[in-house]
A and B are shown apart, each in its own frame.
Chain A
Amino acid sequence: MALKTPEEYIQSIADLGLEIYIFGKKVEDYTNHPIIRPSLNCLAMTYELAAQPEYQDLMLATSHLTGKKINRFAHIHQSPEDLIKKVQMQRLLGQKTGSCFQRCVGMDALNAVYSVTYEIDQAKGTDYYQRFRSYVEYIQNNDLTVDGAMTDPKGDRGLPPHQQPDPDLYVHIVERRADGIVVRGAKAHQTGACNSHEALIMPTVAMREGDEDYAVCFSTPANAPGITYIYGRQSCDTRKLEGTELDVGNKRFGGQEALMVFDNVFVPWDRVYMAGEIEFSGALVERFAGYHRQSYGGCKVGVGDVLIGAAALAADYNGVAKASHIKDKLVEMNHLNETLFSCGVACSAMGFKTAAGNYQSDLLLSNVCKQNITRFPYEITRLAEDIAGGLMVTMPSESDFTDEKIGPIVRKYFAGQCDVPTMDRMRVLRLIENLTLGTAAVGYRTESLHGAGSPQAQRVMIARQSNLNHKKELAKVLAGVGKELPQSCPGQRDVAAVRP
Chain B
Amino acid sequence: MGRDARDRRPQNLEVRFCGGCNPSIDRIAVADEVRSQLDSNERAEATLFISGCQRACASQHQLRIDDRAAVVVAGEYVDGRPAAAPRISVTVMERLRACRGTAKG
Question: How far apart are the CA atoms of A363 and B63 in the complex, in Å?
Answer: 16
Supposing A353-B56, A355-B64 touch, asked if A470 and B81 sit within 8 A by C-beta, the answer is no
> For residue B25, which residues in chain A have a CB less than 8 angstroms away from its CB?
467
29 contacts between A and B (CB under 8 A): A122-B80, A122-B81, A123-B81, A350-B55, A352-B53, A352-B54, A352-B63, A353-B56, A353-B63, A354-B63, A354-B80, A355-B63, A355-B64, A355-B80, A355-B81, A360-B54, A362-B53, A363-B54, A364-B22, A364-B24, A364-B53, A465-B24, A467-B23, A467-B24, A467-B25, A467-B52, A469-B26, A470-B23, A470-B26
Name the 7 nearest CB pairs between A and B, nearest first: A355-B80, A352-B54, A352-B55, A467-B24, A353-B61, A355-B63, A350-B55
> For residue A123, which residues in chain B have a CB less than 8 angstroms away from its CB?
81
B19 within 8 A of A: no
B29–chain A nearest beta-carbon distance, Å: 10
Question: How far apart are the CA atoms of A390 and B3 in the complex, in Å?
Answer: 65
Closest A residue to B27 by CB, please name it. Answer: A470
Q: Establish whether residues B81 and A352, one from each chain, have CB atoms under 8 Å apart when the complex forms.
A: no
Q: Establish whether residues A362 and B82, one from each chain, have CB atoms under 8 Å apart when the complex forms.
A: no
> For residue A362, which residues in chain B have a CB less than 8 angstroms away from its CB?
53-55
B-side binding surface: helix, strand, loop or mixed?
loop
Question: How far apart are the CA atoms of A353 and B53 in the complex, in Å?
Answer: 11
Question: How far apart are the CA atoms of A123 and B79 in the complex, in Å?
Answer: 13
Closest B residue to A355 by CB, please name it. Answer: B80
B88 within 8 A of A: no
A119 within 8 A of B: yes
Q: Establish whether residues B26 and A283, one from each chain, have CB atoms under 8 Å apart when the complex forms.
A: no
Supposing A350-B55, A362-B55, A467-B23 touch, asked if A119 and B81 sit within 8 A by C-beta, the answer is yes
> For residue A283, which residues in chain B have a CB less than 8 angstroms away from its CB?
82
Q: Which of B64, B74, B80 has the most A CB atoms < 10 Å from its CB?
A: B80
B62 within 8 A of A: yes
Other A-B contacts than A353-B63, A467-B24, 9 sampled, CB-CB below 8 A, are A352-B53, A352-B54, A353-B62, A354-B63, A355-B81, A362-B55, A465-B24, A469-B26, A470-B26
Q: Which of A119, A350, A363, A467 has the most B CB atoms < 10 Å from its CB?
A: A467
Question: How far apart are the CA atoms of A364 and B63 in the complex, in Å?
Answer: 18
Question: How far apart are the CA atoms of A109 and B54 in the complex, in Å?
Answer: 20
Question: How far apart are the CA atoms of A470 and B22 in the complex, in Å?
Answer: 9
B-facing mask of A341-375, CB < 8 A → 1, else 0? 00000000011111100001011100000000000
Closest B residue to A80 by CB, please name it. Answer: B61
B54–chain A nearest beta-carbon distance, Å: 4
B-facing mask of A439-453, CB < 8 A → 1, else 0? 000000000000000
B28–chain A nearest beta-carbon distance, Å: 10
Q: Which parts of A262-295 form the interface with B (CB within 8 Å)?
A: 283
Q: Establish whether residues A352 and B74, one from each chain, have CB atoms under 8 Å apart when the complex forms.
A: yes
Q: Which parts of B67-92 form the interface with A (CB within 8 Å)?
A: 74, 77, 80-82
Question: How far apart are the CA atoms of A283 and B77 in the complex, in Å?
Answer: 13
Closest A residue to B61 by CB, please name it. Answer: A353
A471–chain B nearest beta-carbon distance, Å: 10
> For residue A350, which residues in chain B have a CB less than 8 angstroms away from its CB?
55
Closest B residue to A473 by CB, please name it. Answer: B26
Q: Establish whether residues B24 and A352, one from each chain, have CB atoms under 8 Å apart when the complex forms.
A: no
B45–chain A nearest beta-carbon distance, Å: 23
> For residue A363, which residues in chain B have a CB less than 8 angstroms away from its CB?
54
Question: How far apart are the CA atoms of A466 and B53 in the complex, in Å?
Answer: 11
Q: Which of A123, A352, A354, A363 has the most B CB atoms < 10 Å from its CB?
A: A352
Question: How far apart are the CA atoms of A351 and B80 in the complex, in Å?
Answer: 15
Question: How far apart are the CA atoms of A281 and B52 in the complex, in Å?
Answer: 24
Closest B residue to A123 by CB, please name it. Answer: B81
Closest A residue to B21 by CB, please name it. Answer: A350
B104–chain A nearest beta-carbon distance, Å: 14
> For residue A119, which residues in chain B have a CB less than 8 angstroms away from its CB?
81-82
B-facing mask of A100-137, CB < 8 A → 1, else 0? 00000000000000000001001100000000000000
Closest B residue to A360 by CB, please name it. Answer: B54
Closest A residue to B62 by CB, please name it. Answer: A353
B83–chain A nearest beta-carbon distance, Å: 12
> For residue B22, which residues in chain A have a CB less than 8 angstroms away from its CB?
364, 467
Question: How far apart are the CA atoms of A466 and B24 in the complex, in Å?
Answer: 6
> For residue A353, which residues in chain B have a CB less than 8 angstroms away from its CB?
56, 61-63
Question: How far apart are the CA atoms of A466 and B75 in the complex, in Å?
Answer: 12
B79–chain A nearest beta-carbon distance, Å: 9
Question: How far apart are the CA atoms of A465 and B25 in the complex, in Å?
Answer: 10
Closest A residue to B60 by CB, please name it. Answer: A353
